[in-house]
């Protein structure tokens, strides 16, 4: 009964305002965004801004905003609720709307409509709505880029975890061959992690390949660091910005080629240089990895190479990069050349 009476009172006062042409409020006839909804909590305030009535939905919205005290008979500020929109509405005799976040992640939309009588504010209706979920979704939409970055970041972290576990496992292995095989896997996983790390820093899905190349080169050089291995790594050219779809397999291919040079070209401890050259003319990407080591074995053909490294390279070049790769003896050493067309549309 009390509900009905309260609503009737409010309705009557709005009716008087409509008769006075004071309602709807001039400023907001076109705005629909902040229109009241059926589920809104409603509070009725008297002329001194004290709560005369609070609907169950209003009480629960206040609870979610961290206000536990009974609102009836109190000013909102006195029970710990930010009453800025109410003061604003009472002072300006016009409606005021604000989003209030008193408890982290809990956002309450507060809308105060002043009730006017003879041009004076005689009370107010406060509509409250919990819009936390709505705002959370907005925020997620706004930060799609951030979300993608976060995913890459997680993929990178997971890969690093896997590679650490493998490294621990390699340490326990007795067989040198098994140890080497697991360490190879560690290196391959680290390369992919490196790409995801780069992607997690860059917005969008294309990346400056140098951001991968330099840390990758540092990683290879780390493996070269020993006095009995005077091998140098030299980089030239620039691959520019590449789509992640291209950069990821390309980084893996490059790692395999560098590793092969490290593993096979300087077997006898001879000194030497490994060179990487990249060129991007906007439509074609060319990459050359050369070394001045011992050279390929006699009768070597990349198409027939059965090692895992070159199998990975062949597969990625033909199925992911849609390019071609050639390996040839140089004098001295080996030259590997990769060419591919750059896809027009990234994504
Ligand atoms: N830069 C190079 N100089 C000399 N020989 C090379 C070079 N790159 C590759 N090879 C030869 O090609 C072979 C096949 O290489 P591939 O990467 O497929 O296998 P792997 O390096 O032996 O093993 P994995 O890469 O699986 O650890 C090598 O064993 C080596 O004989
Ligand atoms: Mg290899």
For tokens 């990769």, the residue is 338
Residues 104 and 159 both lie in one domain: no
Residues near ligand 2 ion, CB 5 Å cutoff: 260, 309
Task: Please state, in angstroms and rounded to a whole number, the distance separating the CA atoms of residues 347 and 345.
Answer: 6
Instruction: For residue 319, tell me if it sits in a domain.
Output: yes
Residues 99 and 151 both lie in one domain: no
Name the domain boundary from 137, 156, 191.
137
Residues 58 and 112 both lie in one domain: yes
Which ligand approaches the C-alpha of residue 313 most closely? Answer: 1
Q: Residue 292: which CATH number?
A: 3.30.565.10
Residues 78 and 155 both lie in one domain: no
User: How does pLDDT run along the chain (347 residues), one tens digit per residue?
Assistant: 566 667 777 777 777 777 666 676 665 544 445 567 778 899 999 999 999 999 999 999 999 999 999 999 999 999 999 999 999 999 999 999 999 998 888 999 999 999 988 888 999 999 999 998 888 887 776 666 777 788 888 889 999 999 999 999 999 999 999 998 998 889 889 888 988 888 888 666 788 999 889 988 888 887 776 666 788 899 999 999 998 889 988 998 998 999 899 889 998 788 899 999 999 999 999 999 999 999 999 999 999 888 888 998 999 999 999 999 999 999 899 999 999 999 875 43
Instruction: For residue 157, tell me if it sits in a domain.
Output: yes
Look at ligand 1, atom 19, and give the residue with the nearest C-alpha.
307
Instruction: For residue 213, tell me if it sits in a domain.
Output: no
Structure tokens at 61: 């919205």
Task: Please state, in angstroms and rounded to a whole number, the distance separating the CA atoms of residues 124 and 62.
Answer: 17
Q: Residue 71: which CATH number?
A: 3.30.450.20
Q: At what angle do helices 144-172 and 176-201 cross, to 10 degrees?
A: 170
Q: Which numbered atom of ligand 1 lies nearest the CA of 333?
A: 3
Q: Are 274 and 334 in contact (CB under 8 A)?
A: no
Instruction: For residue 149, tell me if it sits in a domain.
Output: yes
Residues 37 and 104 both lie in one domain: yes
Give the residue numbers spanning the domain of 246. 226-347
How many CB atoms within 10 Å of residue 165? 11
Residues 11 and 51 both lie in one domain: yes
Look at ligand 1, atom 23, and give the residue with the nearest C-alpha.
307
Residues 152 and 133 both lie in one domain: no
Instruction: For residue 210, tell me if it sits in a domain.
Output: no
Q: Residue 291's beta-bridge partner residues?
A: 274, 334
CA within 13 Å, CB half, 13: 22
Whether 327 is in the pocket of ligand 1, judged by its Cβ within 6 Å, is no
- CA of 75 from ligand 2 middle (Å) equals 76
- Residue 347: the pLDDT is 39
Instruction: For residue 281, tell me if it sits in a domain.
Output: yes
Q: Element (H or E) spanning 107, and its range?
A: strand 106-117
Which ligand approaches the C-alpha of residue 265 most closely? Answer: 1
- CA of 125 from ligand 1 middle (Å) equals 79
Residues 343 and 230 both lie in one domain: yes
Task: Please state, in angstroms and rounded to a whole number, the distance separating the CA atoms of residues 129 and 39.
Answer: 8
- Residue 203: the pLDDT is 64
- CA of 227 from ligand 2 middle (Å) equals 23
24 cis-preceded (ω within 30 degrees of 0): yes
Look at ligand 1, atom 8, and give the residue with the nearest C-alpha.
260
- Residue 1: the pLDDT is 59
Residues 35 and 121 both lie in one domain: yes
Residues 12 and 83 both lie in one domain: yes
Which ligand approaches the C-alpha of residue 298 most closely? Answer: 1
Please tell me the total count of domains within the chain.
3
Task: Please state, in angstroms and rounded to a whole number, the distance separating the CA atoms of residues 22 and 16.
Answer: 9
Name the domain boundary from 78, 105, 137.
137
Instruction: For residue 286, tell me if it sits in a domain.
Output: yes
Whether 205 is in the pocket of ligand 1, judged by its Cβ within 6 Å, is no
Residues 174 and 234 both lie in one domain: no
- CA of 232 from ligand 2 middle (Å) equals 18
Look at ligand 1, atom 30, and give the residue with the nearest C-alpha.
264
Residues 56 and 147 both lie in one domain: no
Residue 225, SS3 per DSSP: coil
- CA of 261 from ligand 2 middle (Å) equals 8
Name the domain boundary from 100, 119, 137.
137
Instruction: For residue 211, tell me if it sits in a domain.
Output: no
């Amino acid at each position: 009964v009390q509900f009905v009476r309260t609503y009737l009172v409010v309705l009557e006062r709005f009716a008087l305002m409509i008769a006075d042409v004071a309602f709807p409020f001039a400023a907001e006839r076109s705005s629909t965004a902040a229109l009241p909804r059926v589920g809104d909590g409603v509070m009725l305030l008297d002329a001194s801004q004290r709560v005369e009535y609070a609907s169950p939905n209003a009480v629960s919205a206040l609870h979610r905003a961290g206000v536990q005290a009974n609102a009836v008979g109190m000013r909102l500020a006195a029970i710990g609720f930010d009453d800025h929109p109410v003061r604003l509405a009472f002072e300006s005799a016009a409606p005021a709307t604000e989003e209030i976040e008193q408890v982290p992640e809990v956002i309450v939309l507060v809308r105060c409509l002043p009730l006017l009588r003879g041009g004076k504010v005689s009370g107010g209706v406060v509509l409250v709505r919990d819009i936390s979920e709505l705002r959370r979704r907005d925020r997620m939409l706004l930060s799609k880029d951030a979300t993608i970055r976060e995913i890459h970041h997680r993929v990178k972290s997971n890969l690093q975890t896997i590679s650490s576990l493998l490294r621990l496992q390699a340490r326990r292995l007795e067989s040198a061959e098994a140890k080497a095989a697991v360490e190879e896997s560690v290196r391959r996983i680290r390369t992919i992690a490196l790409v995801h790390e780069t992607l997690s820093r860059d917005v969008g899905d294309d990346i400056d390949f140098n951001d991968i190349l330099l840390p990758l080169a540092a990683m290879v050089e780390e493996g070269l660091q020993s006095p009995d291995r005077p091998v140098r790594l030299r980089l030239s050219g620039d691959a520019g910005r590449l789509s992640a779809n291209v950069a990821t397999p390309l980084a893996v291919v490059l790692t395999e080629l560098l590793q092969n040079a490290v593993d096979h070209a300087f077997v006898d401890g001879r000194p030497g240089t490994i060179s990487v050259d990249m060129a991007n003319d906007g439509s074609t990407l060319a990459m050359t990895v050369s070394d001045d080591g011992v050279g390929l074995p006699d009768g070597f053909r990349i198409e027939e190479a059965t090692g895992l490294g070159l199998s990975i390279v062949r597969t990625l070049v033909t199925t992911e990069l849609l390019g071609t790769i050639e390996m040839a003896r140089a004098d001295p050493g080996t030259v590997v050349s990769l060419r591919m067309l750059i896809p027009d549309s990234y994504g």
